[in-house]
Amino acid sequence: MPNYNTIIDVIQDRSKITPQNCAYRFIAGNGDELAYLNYQTLEQVSLNIAANIQQICVTQEKQYESHEQQSKVLLLFPPSLDFITAFYGCLLSGSVAVPTAPLDFMRLERTLPRLLAIIKNSDACTILTTYKIYSQIQELYKNIDKTHNDIGDLINQFKISTTRLNWILIDKPLSDLSEHWQAPCIKPSDLAFLQYTSGSTSMPKGVMISHKNLIHNLEVIHQVAQQDGESCFVNWLPMYHDMGLIGSVLYPLYVGFHSVQMSAISFLKKPIRWFEVINKYKATITAAPNFAYELCINKVQIDSNTQLDLSSLNLVLSGAEPIRSNVIKVFSEKFINIGLIPQAILPSYGLAESTCAVSGNMKMTPNMFKRFNKLCFEQGIINILPNTYSEKKDTIELISCGSPLPSVNLKIVDPVTLQLSELNHIGEIWLSSDSVANGYWQHTAETKKTFNQALSISDTSEYLRTGDLGFMYDGQLFITGRLKDLIILHGLNYYPQDIELSVEQSHVEIRSGCTVAVSIDIQEQTELYIVAEVRAKVRALSDEIKEAIRRKVNADHNIAIADIYLIQPGSINKTSSGKLQRNACKQNIISNRLKCI
Amino acid sequence: MTQLNSNHVAQLSQQQLTTWLVNKVIAIAKIEAHEIDINEQFINYGLNSVDAVTLSGELEDFIGYEIPASIMYEFSTINELAQHLSRDIDSPFAIEGEK
């Protein structure tokens, strides 16, 4: 691709070169097309939003001397093309976009604290939103007195923190100010947006993504993904999420192909809609986390007389979540008869701290599935087994997340000595490249710990500590888990997911996917603790269940358990998409807040 | 595309809706029928928000019209939801004796 300096160059280039080509569509749950933008309208609409932002809150600088000088603008949108024009509007105004998850008015106690914390941390001066959301928020303010105490307090805090902000409602016809728009003096090192990571609710961390980070990541994605002007991306991932934003909104713009958006809710309600939209628009590329592929395996039923055809897809990315090799296998087997090309399904690895993508392959190859000796694995050593090796008990199967993308410097580092790991050893993944962000906005200590790591005197690069564990084999990156979840007992490494699987298999009354294994240090001794949800009303069996867990974990891993907590169904800590929160669970053990049966 | 079949807007009774919901919760929570309490919160059967949204989609297919994805938060037990949906259907058709 040409040498772009900023995303602003890309937007203007698209509108100049292919003004009439389709840029984005938005599809409703019933398949109707709700919105359409070609590159020319995209630029016009975004430019006018930019001019409106500039009029309210952007002081024009000859040059921004620090990130503080750039205004921060919060984006609060339902899934829609409004999000996209608002996002580009921010960039075209020279300000920094701050995408956020839309407020769930049914569950304010869950969604409002995070939004509040982001408003505080980001120093946003303006909120871009829709008339509908603005009215819903005004409605909340009106009814504060009638609201439940805790939520009333939250709403009050929100009201106070938003009174100093400017609101721009982009679907109320905005005044046409496009004539007054001034091209901002943006350098590649200036910020494009803050990507807030899931982290804790009380302290959300905004990764500072610069234009240079974005252009670099888009270029290296392109060198491997190799889409062209005829391609089409179908996406339902939220656009405030890095994979949704960079993969499905910015990457298509960068190359100049068309992107079809739908909402996550519309996918979750009826997963087959994802396939229907792919089929209708002959999508070539799509992306989703592991859980979505699993959901399709369980929920999508294909009729024998179906017209669905997925053969247009040449890239079906799995990322943003640990990838189970079995899910990839079963997904490709189940949908091969509607044209899905097994080689197109590709695991990838990435994180917001490195803009988005870190590794991935062009095509799936059989050598991406590898089996390793389990005993060596526990010692952090990689010992590969031939694919013909049949003794399942002693093996671990992993799927590779591809090779590091071009110009990404990836190192496997011993997390204790902070020196390069020995060959064929598992270690923490460290990264250095132009995709790696400058740090977390207004979190100096966290930034220093995570982003500014030196490796050795001879290596002058600064590295990003990803917190992910893995190893390189045969040029391929394998991810084994999170460093903070790793359980180290007597010098051996255990991954919680392996122990949790044994616990689940030990007794029928234990609920699958609702078990956590953590290590806790007590008086310089590290010990293993298990928390497991059991089915309702089995208190009488608790001794029997605990005994079964101890026996199975000992048989599978040869380790003893310090204590076991059997808890009520639905009470284990999980994120909204169902991921286990092991650390929160650990805190509940320590502070004795588990709902034991 | 998946269209909701308008002929399928059946007049489901509260009992039919309850039975359907009980079976779904049994399948998701992997518990026995006798362990279900229709006045228990969905969340206490381990339903997460992805489950809640997918279930609202399946429920649409069953009742034949669109409902909000957040319906299981608005009506947070089997009983409340079944009652709400049976009323919802009864009113436009004014069916007698279907309470």
Domains of chain B: 6-89 (1.10.1200.10)
pLDDT score at B90: 46
Query: By the CB < 8 Å criterion, does B56 face chain A?
Result: yes
- The closest of B8, B71, B73, B43 to A572, measured between CA atoms, is B43
Nearest to B70 among A104, A270, A512 (CB): A104
- The closest of A30, A51, A342, A322 to A174, measured between CA atoms, is A51
Give the Cα separation of B6 and B13 in Å (integer).
Answer: 18
**Using only C-alpha atoms, what is the Rg of chain B?**
13
Position A132 pLDDT exceeds 90: yes
Asked casually if ipTM beats, i.e. exceeds, 0.90, the reply is no
Contact A268 B74 (CB under 8 A): no
Average pLDDT over residues A152-165: 90
pLDDT score at B9: 56
Residue partners of A263: CB distance under 8 A and separation at least 6 = A29, A78, A79, A236
Token code pair at residue A2: 């040409």
Residues of A with CB under 8 A from a CB of B: 29-31, 104, 106-107, 265, 268-273, 276, 280, 291, 295, 299, 511-512, 514, 533, 535-537, 568-571, 574, 576-578
Position A202 pLDDT exceeds 70: no
- DSSP conformation class of A247: I
CA-CA distances (angstroms) from residue A426 to A323, A348, A420, A473, A538?
A: 17, 18, 10, 10, 40
Position B83 pLDDT exceeds 80: yes
Position B93 pLDDT exceeds 60: no
pLDDT score at A343: 94
Q: Which of A49-53, A461-465, A546-550, B6-10 has the lowest mean pLDDT?
A: B6-10
Q: How far A102 CA lies from chain B's nearest CA (Å)?
A: 14
**Element holding B3 (H helix, E strand):** none
pLDDT score at A379: 87
- The closest of A306, A249, A254, A243 to A279, measured between CA atoms, is A306
Fold of A41-175+185-210: Rossmann fold (3.40.50)
The pTM for the full model equals 0.89
Position B88 pLDDT exceeds 70: no
Half-sphere exposure of B37 (CA within 13 A, CB side): 8
- In tens, the pLDDT along A487-525 reads 988 888 899 998 999 999 999 889 888 899 999 988 778
Determine the 3-state secondary structure of A350 from DSSP: strand
Position A119 pLDDT exceeds 50: yes
Contact A30 B30 (CB under 8 A): no
pLDDT score at A61: 67
Query: By the CB < 8 Å criterion, does B39 face chain A?
Result: no
Average pLDDT over residues A287-305: 93
Burial A209-241, CB ≥16 within 10 A → b, else e: bbbbbbbbbbbbbbebbebeeebbbbbbbbbbb
Query: By the CB < 8 Å criterion, does B43 face chain A?
Result: yes
Cross-strand pairs, A27:
A33
Position B45 pLDDT exceeds 90: no
Q: What percent of chain A has pLDDT over 90?
A: 70
Burial A274-297, CB ≥16 within 10 A → b, else e: bbbbbbebebbbbbbbbbbbebbb
CATH number of A376-482: 2.30.38.10
**Element holding A14 (H helix, E strand):** helix A7-17
Residue partners of A14: CB distance under 8 A and separation at least 6 = A21, A23, A39, A42, A43, A253, A256
Fold of A487-590: GMP Synthetase; Chain A, domain 3 (3.30.300)
Contact A570 B44 (CB under 8 A): yes
Q: What percent of chain B has pLDDT over 90?
A: 38
Determine the 3-state secondary structure of A3 from DSSP: coil
- In tens, the pLDDT along A391-429 reads 777 888 899 999 999 999 999 999 989 999 999 999 999
Nearest to B50 among A30, A533, A578 (CB): A578
Q: Please report, for chain A, the start and end positions of each structural domain, with discontinuous segments joined by +.
A: 41-175+185-210, 376-482, 487-590
- In tens, the pLDDT along A59-112 reads 666 788 888 889 999 999 999 999 999 999 999 999 999 999 988 888 888 789
